[in-house]
Amino acid sequence: MCGIVGAISPRNVTPILLEGLKRLEYRGYDSAGVAVIHQNRLQREREIGKVAGLEAKLQSSELSGQIGIAHTRWATHGKPSVDNAHPQMSGTDVAVVHNGIIENHERLRDQLAAHGYVFASDTDTEVVAHLFHYHYQLVNTEPNDERLIRAFRETLEALQGAYALSILHTEHPGALLCAKVGSPLVIGEGSEEHFIGSDPLALLQVTDRFIYLEEGDYALVTRDEKRIYSLSESGMVEVERPIVRYEHGDHAADRGEFRHFMLKEIHEQPRALRDSLAGKFGQAGELLASSLGPNAENILRCVKQVQIVSCGTSYHAGLVARYWLEALAGVPCSVEVASEFRYRQVVVPENTLFVTISQSGETADTLAALRFAKTKGYLASLAICNVPGSSLVRESDYRLLTNAGPEIGVASTKAFTTQLAVLLWLTAVIGQAQMPAASRVELINALRSLPDHVASVLALEPAIERLAAYFANKHHTLFLGRGTHYPVAMEGALKLKEISYIHAEAYAAGELKHGPLALVDEEMPVVTVAPSNELLEKLKSNLQEVQARGGQLINFVCEEAHFKDNDNVTNVCLPKVDDWIAPIVYSVPLQLLAYHVALVKGTDVDKPRNLAKSVTVE
Ligand code: HGA
C-alpha cells in the first residue's frame, strides 16, 4: 500500500526521504514522488515505477531542502501515472501526500471546481490539496502557525473516509502538517529534527523513538516541537501522546544471506515461533493469560462463543483455530472475512469473544470490523497482531501479540505460523476448565516442540525445490486437505497464486467428487496435505479418485504413513508430529513450494504484481 515519509531538519532531508521510500518499497506501489521547500518555493519530482527511477531523476535535478514530504503510491483513484503520483499540489504553494481514500472526493471536487480550482490529476488526493488551499485563504489572520493549523482542521472536518496525510505550505517552511484518520501515521523524534512516516520502519535509519498518532489526531510538527490535537476534542486543545521506543531493531532492510525477504522469513520461523510463545507459560507449565491484558483470565473464563474476523492469510489462521476451539475447548466458533462481516446484520450470542487477526494491525477492513463489533455487545475484543503499537491493538480490549519481527515479504509466512501458534495457546487458555490436565500438558509440550519440528521441515527445502520445476508451465493447481488441513491447503493455494500467478484452488478433499474432479486430467497437479490422523484413510480414498483420472499428485505426508511414489505420485515425507500442531508444521513445505515455483517462473517474489503489504484501504 501507499507509504508516507516526511522530515524537517537543519540538514538536507532529500536523502532521508529517499531512504524512507526505499524502506517502504516492500509494501507494493506503482509510483513515487518527493516535494521539498527550497528558498520558500516548492520543488517536486515524481516518477512511475520503482523508487530507483525517482532517485535517478532527483540526482539530475539536485533537489534539496530542510523540509519535505515523500510518497509511494498504490493507485486507488486514477491510473498509475506521473500526473497521479503524489505529492499532489494546489497552485505553487501547497503539497500533499496521502494514504487511503477520500470518500466524498467527487462532491468536494465539484465544489472546488465551482470556486475556480483546476484539477491536474484523477486522484482523490488532489481534492485535499485544493481544499486546504481554499480554507487557508479563508482563515483571515496573519500567516502564522495558528492560521495553518486552523485551515488544516477545517480541511480535515470536511473530509470523509480513511486516510493519513501530510501537507506543506510555502508560507510556512518550518512546519509540517500531518493527520491520522483510519490509516497509520507516526511522528519520529530526532535531535532538533522530526520525521513522520506511515510505518516506523521507514524511519529507523534516523530514529527509534516514535509517537503513534491516535485515531483523529492531527499535528503541526517543527524542528523543535510537535503540537498534537484531536478531532474528537471540540476546541483546539493540545493532547499528550507518549513517545515509545521501537524495540525490534532495524532488520527491515536486511535480507542477510537470503535471496528474498520471503525466504528469509520462512527460515526465521523456528525463532519467530519461539519468541511468540515466550512468556506465555509459567515455570510449572501454567498458561499465563495475564499477558493478554488486565483481568483477561476472568473474562476468558466467561467465554461461551468466539467470533473471529480477519482477511487473507489471517482468515485462514482463523479457520484452523475454529477446529481447535470447538474440539479442544468445546466453544462454538465462527470465522468470517472482515470485508463481509463489517456490512452485515449480526446476531451476537451472549458472552461471545470478538477476535481479530492481522499481521500489521492496520488492515482497513479488519479495523472497521472491530469498530463495528464494538457497537454490538460482544463480551470483549481481542486482537492477534504482530505490531504492538498498531491501531488494532490499541483499540481492542485485549491483545495477543505474535513476536515474529517485521514481515517484509508481501506473501505472509512467519506471521501465519506464529498466529496459529498463539491461537492454539489461546485455545488451551479458553478450554482450560474443561480440558483434562493430561491433554493440557500434552498440548503445551507439543507447542514447545514446534520450533524444532519446523526446523526439521526446513531441511526438506532441496527436495521441494526439485518439485518446483514441474509447475513451470502449469496454469492451474488444486490443493486438497481435510479437517484442520483444509484451511492449510487454502493457505497453500493462496501462497502459490500470490507469488507465482498460477491459478490455485483449495478444496476439502471430500468435496472433490462434487465438482472439481471434472478439472482433473494429466495436466493438473494436485497438491495434498496428508498428515497421519483419523482422516488419513478417507483422504487416501480421495487421492485414488485423482489418480484414477490421471492427475499428478504431490503429497506432503507423514513419514510413518508409508505412501508410495509412482509415475503419477510424488511424496514429500514430514516427521510425525502431534495432531494439534500438524497444521503449523505442514504449512511450511507449502510456503517453500510456492517460493520455489515463483523462482522458476521468474516473478517478483517479495513484491508480487498488484498486491501490497498491510492493506490500509478498504
Ligand atoms: N487514493 C490515493 C491514495 C491511495 C492509497 O493510499 N493506496 O494505498 C490515490 O489513489 O492516489
* One-character DSSP codes across 596-607: HHHHHHT--SSS
Query: pLDDT value at position 445?
Result: 92
Residue 195 contacts residue 187 (beta carbons within 8 Å): yes
Q: Is the CB of 310 under 6 A from ligand 1?
A: no
Q: How far apart are CA 71 and CA 85, in angstroms?
A: 8
Told to judge if 2 belongs to the known catalytic residues of this protein, a careful annotator would answer yes
Put simply, whether the predicted model's pTM sits higher than 0.85 gets the answer: no
Cβ neighbours around 115 below 10 Å, total = 11
d(CA 492, ligand 1 centre) in Å = 29
Residue pair 615/363 in contact (Cβ under 8 Å)? The answer is: yes
By most ligand atoms within 8 Å of CB, the mutation choice from 72, 82, 86, 123 for ligand 1 is 123
Tell me how far apart the alpha carbons of residues 207 and 155 are, in angstroms, rounded to a whole number: 30
**Closest ligand 1 atom, residue 74 Cα:** 7
Q: Which residues, at least 6 apart from 436, have a Cβ–Cβ distance to it below 8 Å? A: none
In ligand 1, the atom with minimum distance to the C-alpha of 163 is 6
The C-alpha atoms of residue 525 and residue 568 are separated, in whole angstroms, by: 10
Side chain identity, residue 301: R
Hey, is 95 helix, strand or coil? strand
The whole-angstrom separation of Cα 102 and Cα 130 is 13
Q: Rounded to whole angstroms, what are the CA distances from 512 to 241, 494, 558? A: 55, 18, 22
**98 Cα–ligand 1 center, Å:** 7
List strand residue ranges (DSSP E) for 450-502, in order: 476-481
Residue 324 pLDDT: 97
- In the reported structure, the alpha carbon of residue 159 is separated from the centroid of ligand 1 by a whole-number distance in angstroms of 15
532 and 560 Cβ atoms separated by less than 8 Å: yes
Our answer on whether the CB atom of 100 is closer than 6 Å to any ligand 1 atom is yes
Number of H helices, E strands in the chain: 18, 24
> Domains (ranges, CATH) in the chain?
3-252 (3.60.20.10), 255-456 (3.40.50.10490), 459-606 (3.40.50.10490)
Q: Is 1 in the pocket of ligand 1 (CB under 6 A)?
A: yes
The answer to whether 73 touches 49, Cβ cutoff 8 Å, is no
Q: Kindly write down the DSSP assignment for every residue of 285-344, as one continuous string.
A: S-B-GGGG-TTHHHHHHT--EEEEEE-HHHHHHHHHHHHHHHHHS---EEEEEHHHHTTS
Considering 2, 311, 333, 385, which one is annotated as catalytic?
Answer: 2
Which of 446, 419, 423, 415 is closest to 326 using CA atoms?
A: 423
Asked about 302 being catalytic, the answer comes back as: no
Cβ(74) to ligand 1 under 6 A? yes
Evaluated on CA atoms 74, 132, 207, 228, the torsion sign reads: negative
Atom of ligand 1 nearest to the CA of 616: 8
pLDDT of residue 378: 98
Measured from the Cα of 99, ligand 1's closest atom is 6
Cα(505) to centroid(ligand 1), Å: 30
Burial of 504-519, coded b for 16+ CB within 10 Å and e otherwise, reads bebbbbeebeeebbee
Say what the pLDDT of residue 252 is.
57
Which one of 611, 617, 618 would you pick to mutate in the ligand 1 pocket, going by the greatest count of ligand atoms within 8 A of its CB? 617
- Residue in 1, 4, 74, 185 to alter for ligand 1 test, most ligand atoms within 8 A of Cβ: 74
Q: For residue 54, give Cα distances in angstroms to 23, 37, 224, 232, 238.
A: 14, 18, 30, 38, 37
Torsion angle of the four alpha carbons 599, 602, 607, 611, in this order, in degrees rounded to the nearest 10: -110
Distance CA 330, CA 305 (A): 9
Cα-to-centroid distance, 24 and ligand 1 (Å)? 14
Q: State if residue 617 touches ligand 1 by the CB under 6 angstroms criterion.
A: yes
Distance, CA 248 to ligand 1 centroid (Å)?
Answer: 28
CA distances from 599 to 28, 414, 477, 544, 594 (A): 19, 19, 17, 31, 9
Give Cβ neighbours of residue 615 (< 8 Å, ≥ 6 apart): 1, 311, 312, 363, 364, 365
Cβ-proximal residues to 595 (8 Å cutoff; 6+ apart), any chain: 260, 262, 263, 266, 499, 605
Torsions phi, psi for 45 (to 5 deg): -135, 140
Burial class (CB within 10 angstroms; exposed 0-12, middle 13-18, buried 19+) of 462: exposed
- Residue 76 CB less than 6 A away from ligand 1: yes
* Angle of CA points 116, 119, 123, to nearest 5°: 140
* Beta-bridge partners for 181: 163
Q: How far is ligand 1, taken at its centre, from the CA of residue 138, in Å?
A: 28
Residues of the chain falling short of pLDDT 70? 143, 251-253
DSSP state of 84: T
CB of residue 104 inside a 6 A radius of ligand 1: no
Note the pLDDT of residue 240: 95
Atom of ligand 1 nearest to the CA of 75: 10
Q: Is 124 in the pocket of ligand 1 (CB under 6 A)?
A: yes
- Polymer length in residues for the chain: 618
The atom of ligand 1 lying closest to the CA of 100 is 6
Tell me how far the alpha carbon of residue 3 lies from the centroid of ligand 1, in angstroms: 9
Cβ 101 under 6 angstroms from ligand 1? yes
Exposure letters 309-338 (e unless 16+ CB within 10 A, then b): bbbbbbbbbbbbbbbbbeebbebebebbbb
Does ligand 1 lie within 6 Å of residue 99's CB atom? yes
The 3-state DSSP class for residue 22 equals helix
Looking at residue 143, its pLDDT comes to: 67
Please tell me the predicted confidence (pLDDT) of residue 300: 94
Ligand 1 binding pocket mutation candidate from 71, 125, 128 (most atoms within 8 A of CB): 125
* 346, 376 contact by CB (below 8 A): yes
Q: Is the CB of 75 under 6 A from ligand 1?
A: yes
The minimum-distance atom of ligand 1 relative to the CA of 124 is: 1
Contact call for residues 323 and 461 (beta carbons, < 8 A): no
Distance 61 CA to ligand 1 centre (A): 26
**pLDDT at res. 536:** 85
The residue to which cell 470483549 is assigned: 380
DSSP for 341-378, written as a single string: HTTS-----TTEEEEEEESSS--HHHHHHHHHHTTTT-
- What b/e sequence results for 466-494 when a residue is b if at least 16 CB atoms lie within 10 Å of its CB, and e otherwise? ebbeebeebeebbbbbbbbbbbbbbbbbb
Of 46, 49, 102, nearest in space to 74 by CA:
49
Question: Can you point out the beta strands (E) in 374-501?
Answer: 380-385, 398-401, 476-481
Whole-angstrom Cα distance, residue 336 to residue 432? Answer: 25
Query: Other C-beta atoms within 10 Å of 55: how many?
Result: 18
